[in-house]
Amino acid sequence: MRLSGLEEGFLREGLPGTIGCAALYTGEPFDLAELRSRVVERWGALDRMHRILQPPPRPAALSGHRWAFAGPFDPAAHVTACAQELQPLLTAAVTRRLPPDRPLWQLLVPKATPSGEQPLVLLAHHALLDGGSLATLLRLLMDEPRTRVRARPAREPVRPRVPATDLIREWHDSSAPGQRLPLRPGASHPCVTVVRLDPAVMRSARRQPSPGRGATLNELLLGALAGALPACFGTLSSRRHGMAPLYARVPVDLRSPHEAQRLGTLITAIRVPLPVDTGSPADRLRTCQHLLSALNRRCHAHRAALPLLEGVSRAAPWLTRVLARRMARPDVATAVCTAFKWRDGRSSLHGRRLSGIAALPLLSPPGTVNLGLVQTADTYLLTVTSHLRPGDSRLIADTVAEELAAMAVLSASGGG
């Protein structure tokens, strides 16, 4: 089975392509045999979890990769314990490729966190699964799963009709070069940091701007990043760079309601200019809200372009590589911001209560930073995957937290 154009693109970027999530549970350490049994029970019938990636049968410029079914996965190979602590494990995970001789996913059981929580780390290649699929798989593992996987949509989604001028405009808005973060050649170093955000701060920040409807997690994360990057890297004014903005992407799920629980990679990313020139946290947040208000309209163009992408992927795989690497360039997209809320209430696995989830964003080329924010009840975990200077993931995470605190202060004081 040939890969879709979206899947092929993640393979052609030239990086490990590993994404993941870390679910934290209270209680005693997991029993490995018990965990493997649950994985076979809940994931064993899912076709996606048995697929092995086959290389192109002809030169890679002329043919694409294929999925092959290789029989049932081996739970002993895919579900393993490791002696690493969580944060070093996540840094190592984004920098290495998953074993190519078996399905491209792993479930790892690292050491307990310093607070005594028991982590499970689910890793996958982005060509096999996206973030929504990882969340679906986690739900399926729980003691009382509240989801059911669809192998295929109940009916084919209707592709929107979009004028050619809108497609051309969206292509320009998605790919025109911007500015880069200042980084010396050869100075980049992959690093991952996970921080726990103050829930009181997040509750107050979500009431911004005041008065108003409040803010979504994505809007808060974008606004905080727009303030954090100039603080970490000096002035990044677009006015001093020929009006070239600093760009970030926001992933958007392309699944229709009939495909909501479908496994795979069915996402796009809408690019927006970060308001680094805006003076106050509240103004940056308002600007991000305005930018993201166009998300649904712009997604229509992305959905309409899917058949074209599929045609390019099949007819000219070399062009898929060119496009994928262009879109990943640090001047085209300096950052990716993903925010997610776990909506399943109190969840547990083998009697251990889920206390938090940390996303593991993809590692992009040198000069980039990707952020993931996940809310689980009253727990907010921010993950920063940076390919910048050593220590920048911690610096950016801490500065984003400070920006969120500044928003919360404005909310508490009624300022705007």
> For 161-199, how does the pLDDT look when each residue is reduced to its tens digit (9 = 90+)?
788 888 888 888 999 999 999 888 778 999 999 999 999
| Residue 125 clears pLDDT 90, i.e. is over it | yes
**CA distances, 221 to each of 12, 159, 224, 362, 374 (Å):** 28, 30, 5, 17, 11
**Widest Cα–Cα separation across the chain:** 64
Cβ neighbours of residue 80 closer than 8 Å, sequence gap 6 or more: 32, 106, 107, 108, 109
Token pair of 54 as six digits: 């086959």
Q: What is the pLDDT of residue 47?
A: 94
Q: What is the pLDDT of residue 331?
A: 94
Q: Residue 152 — very low, low, confident or very high, per pLDDT cuts 50/70/90?
A: low
Q: What is the pLDDT of residue 196?
A: 97
| Residue 156 clears pLDDT 70, i.e. is over it | no
Q: What is the pLDDT of residue 100?
A: 92
Q: What is the pLDDT of residue 267?
A: 92
Which residue carries 């690497």 as its tokens?
A: 325
CATH of domain 5-141: 3.30.559.10
Angle at 366 between CA 396 and CA 89, to 5 degrees: 65
| 17, 11 Cβ separation under 8 angstroms | yes
Distance (Å, whole) CA 268 – CA 253: 7
Mean pLDDT of 59-78: 91
Mean pLDDT of 283-312: 89
- Taking only the tens place, the pLDDT of each residue in 347-383 is 999 999 999 999 999 999 999 999 999 999 999 999 9
Mean pLDDT of 200-226: 89
| Residue 241 clears pLDDT 60, i.e. is over it | no
Could you count the other beta carbons within 10 Å of the beta carbon of residue 117?
A: 19
- Taking only the tens place, the pLDDT of each residue in 255-287 is 887 777 889 999 999 999 999 988 889 899 999
Token pair of 23 as six digits: 């679910």
What residue spans define the domains of the chain? 5-141, 165-342+361-413
Cβ neighbours of residue 59 closer than 8 Å, sequence gap 6 or more: none
Could you count the other beta carbons within 10 Å of the beta carbon of residue 294?
A: 12
| Residue 85 clears pLDDT 80, i.e. is over it | yes
Domains 5-141 and 165-342+361-413 share a fold: yes
| Residue 147 clears pLDDT 80, i.e. is over it | no
Q: What is the pLDDT of residue 14?
A: 87
> How high is the mean pLDDT of the chain?
90
Helices 392-413 and 281-292 cross at an angle (nearest 10°) of: 100
| 131, 19 Cβ separation under 8 angstroms | yes
Q: Any idea what DSSP says for residue 128?
A: T
Pairing between β-strand 118-125 and β-strand 189-197 as defined by DSSP bridges: unpaired
Distance (Å, whole) CA 180 – CA 199: 33
Q: What is the pLDDT of residue 326?
A: 93
Among 5-19, 139-153, 183-197, 246-260, the range scoring the smallest mean pLDDT is 139-153
Could you count the other beta carbons within 10 Å of the beta carbon of residue 269?
A: 16
**CA distances, 416 to each of 281, 283, 285, 286, 369 (Å):** 9, 8, 10, 10, 29
What is the second-level CATH architecture of the domain 165-342+361-413?
2-Layer Sandwich (3.30)
Which has more confidence, 416 or 249? Answer: 249
| 346, 192 Cβ separation under 8 angstroms | no
| 46, 70 Cβ separation under 8 angstroms | no
Q: What is the pLDDT of residue 176?
A: 92
Q: Residue 234 — very low, low, confident or very high, per pLDDT cuts 50/70/90?
A: confident
Distance (Å, whole) CA 182 – CA 236: 9
Among 64-73, 130-139, 146-155, 241-250, the range scoring the smallest mean pLDDT is 146-155
